[in-house]
Amino acid sequence: MAFLVGCGAAPSPHLPTRARRIVSLVPSLTEDLFALGAGERVIAVTQADDYPPSVKRLPAVASFASVNNEAIIRLHPDAVVGIPSQLRLTAALRTAGLQTVFLRDDSYADIFADISALGALTSRRDAAKNLIDALQSKTKRLRRMIVGAYRPRVLFVINAKPIIIAGNASFISTLLTLSGAKNAAGVAQPYPVISAETVLAAQPDAVVTDDQTQLTALLGYAPWRSLKAVQSGRVFVLDKRHADVVERPGPRYNEGIAWLIEHLRTLR
């Protein structure tokens, strides 16, 4: 049976509870479970999972584009948690009678909806509420650091070829806002593929990307070389550790806001 929890919605009353053996198919959901104090219930993760470090000792049963259903079935989990795009990849699990829970992870609100849903799944509702309160309180403290600050227009590049950016509906866009910036994307979708012409039309004050996109190797070519942000050296590159806290909609997102504030304040 599959359960889908939507953005900002209360967990379904039919969501399974007291799950003791959980397979996580998304790193941010793994981080949520550990932050809730339910890490010992996680029995398998993905190849991309690396936080907390102890998850590296767990079996990896999925990658970005695939799920090893046979390996998961052999582990006899009480629940498998993932995101809606993995619904098709996990059809064999439901055929085998396993409970699958799909949590949306596009928006900022999804961070807290997912924590709440996982709190229900693990019978740790109070821990979920306390975690959400703590995270939101820290966000408010970080926001006080940027009162009256200059608000640069930032283009956040997820992939260089093809060009994929963080659109206005993404949680990354909200992190930009919370760090005192504006999203230069001008595109509604969470993570759209855009054209070179759209990049040129955006003319952001700065570009943010991570060190896996290899965008820096393309800055001397069109359309990037024609951006004033590139010409003035206003390109900020996240290393692996900071890319995770900015690009994963998980409980470390405040570290991502802090990184953005620190770097974007240099644009004044």
For the chain, the straight-line distance linking the first and the last C-alpha, in angstroms and rounded, comes to: 53
Do 92 and 177 lie in one domain? The reply is no
pLDDT in tens, 26-80: 999 999 999 999 999 999 999 999 999 999 999 999 998 999 999 999 999 999 9
The CATH number given to whatever domain includes residue 9 is 3.40.50.1980
Give the lowest-confidence range in 3-17, 36-50, 107-121.
3-17
* pLDDT tens column, 162-191: 999 999 999 999 999 999 999 999 899 999
On whether both 130 and 45 belong to a single domain, the answer is yes
The CB-based long-range contact list for 220-227 (8 Å cut-off, 24+ gap) reads 222/196, 223/196, 223/197, 223/199, 224/199, 226/200, 227/199, 227/200, 227/203
CA 114/CA 102 separation, integer angstroms: 9
Do 122 and 179 sit in the same domain of this protein? no
How many domains is the chain built from? 2
Tell me: do 114 and 200 sit in the same domain.
no
Task: Please provide the average confidence, as pLDDT, over all residues in the chain.
Answer: 93
Would you say residue 7 has pLDDT above 50? Answer: no
* pLDDT above 90 coverage of the chain, percent: 88
Question: Residue 122: its pLDDT value, please?
Answer: 96
Does residue 164 sit in the same domain as residue 134? no
33 and 131 belong to one structural domain = yes
Domain endpoint, select from 139, 170, 188? 139
Task: Decide: helix, strand or coil at residue 24.
Answer: strand
Which range marks the domain in which residue 153 is found? 148-267
On whether both 186 and 101 belong to a single domain, the answer is no
Q: 8-22, 84-98, 106-120, 239-253: which range is least confident on average?
A: 8-22
Does 72 share its domain with 154? no
Under 8 Å between Cβ of 147 and 129: no
User: What pLDDT score was predicted for residue 2?
Assistant: 67
